[in-house]
Amino acid sequence: MKKNGILLFAFASTFFLACGTGDEPPQDLEAPVIDHADGHDYIEPENGEIFSETADHTHIRFSVEDASGIGQVRVNIHANFDGHSHARMKNDFVRLDVNDIYSPEASNPDFRFPEGSTRINIDGTGTDIYWTGANSRLSDPVIAGSYDFSIEATDVHGNQTGFADGSSYLATIQIRTPYAPAIDVTNLHDDELEGAAGSPLDVQGTVSKTDHTLSAPIAFLWVRLMEEHEDHGGGDDGHNHRIADEEYFYEKMWGTSAWLEEGSGPDLPHNEMIDLSKVLTGDDAIMVPSGEDHLDLVILAEDTNGNTTEMKFTVHIE
């Protein structure tokens, strides 16, 4: 009897253990999903978005969803033009550097959401990011240029979105200012440059210092001809749509960049106004390749204060 009782107890223990294990919910290994805010078709700011000389802020609009509950969301903006050097500019300009943490414990009520939330929708003026004006995050003028904007999210189990698989949001935006270099191409036809395969590309226009009191002389010019690429990240497959590993049909630099480690070339012909038609000629002419329909001409100019302006022009090839 004693032996039978021991066997019965062991059987019952095994039975209840098996039942208990089977009743446990499956472990959550999925990261949160980052998407557009309600009533919008895309996350803001979009990849490739350009903020004009008169703009002072960007809207922050997105949603995050996770069945187990959202733990934390990180919104970050940092300059992507200074990753290859440690330039120290001799002026009072500053880079926009933002690291906003959204969580149930956030001290800023605009970044706070209820604990255990399975979905949050960010679409309010309190989360907008300003770089000039009364609501600016900066105490000095912003350095004009290209910035990376990202959104990362973690759920209550620690599952985190990532950039490798595209579950984090990553975009490049441009902040332009009235004191950054001005780029003006004057021979556009229907907003395109026209070129003939095997011939030099005719580019008329200027790169110049502006009349703004904070404007400075031109220090660096970079001209590239590359494959046509759509920058904006709207659409189902545009979550992390960025240019990477581009091959150039033409690339030439003049002057010296404070940000790019390998950004240097022959002396600029002038530091206040550069005539593109005179620079892009002779041995430095842009030869239009054959077998192409449309290409992108990208012109980047940098001043001695580190402000950069980049503009892209579509080249239609006959």
Distance CA 127, CA 290 (A): 48
Tokens linked to 248: 């150039």
Q: Are strands 145-155 and 62-65 parallel, antiparallel or unpaired?
A: unpaired
Sketch out the chain's domains with CATH numbers: 33-175 (2.60.40), 182-317 (2.60.40.1930)
Helix (H, G, I), strand (E, B) or coil at 61: strand
Tokens linked to 121: 């929708």
Amino acid identity, position 289: P
- Integer angstrom CA distances of residue 28 from 44, 135, 152, 156: 29, 40, 18, 10
Q: Which pLDDT value is given to residue 238?
A: 45
Q: Which pLDDT value is given to residue 192?
A: 97
∠ CA 174-152-86, nearest 5°, is: 50
Distance CA 28, CA 31 (A): 9
Q: For each of the chain's 318 residues, which pLDDT tens digit applies? A: 545 544 444 444 444 444 444 555 557 789 999 999 999 999 999 999 999 999 999 999 999 999 999 999 999 999 987 654 445 565 689 999 999 999 999 999 999 999 999 999 999 999 999 999 999 999 999 999 999 999 999 999 999 999 999 999 999 999 999 999 999 999 999 999 999 999 999 999 999 999 999 999 999 999 999 998 765 444 444 455 444 456 899 999 999 999 988 899 999 999 999 999 999 999 999 999 999 999 999 999 999 999 999 999 999 999
Distance CA 111, CA 152 (A): 14
Looking at the chain, list the stretches that DSSP marks H as alpha helix, in order from N- to C-terminal side.
2-23, 276-279
Tokens 């620690």 correspond to 158
Give the closest residue to 275 by CA, choosing from 195, 224, 179, 202: 202
Q: Which pLDDT value is given to residue 91?
A: 67
Distance CA 126, CA 157 (A): 28
Q: Which pLDDT value is given to residue 175?
A: 98
Instruction: Return the number of other C-beta atoms located less than 10 Å from residue 230's C-beta.
Output: 13
* DSSP 8-state assignment for residue 256: B
What DSSP letter does each residue of 164-201 carry, written as one string? TTT-SEEEEEEE--TTSPEEEE---BTTEEEE-TTSB-
| CA torsion through residues 264, 245, 35, 109, sign | negative
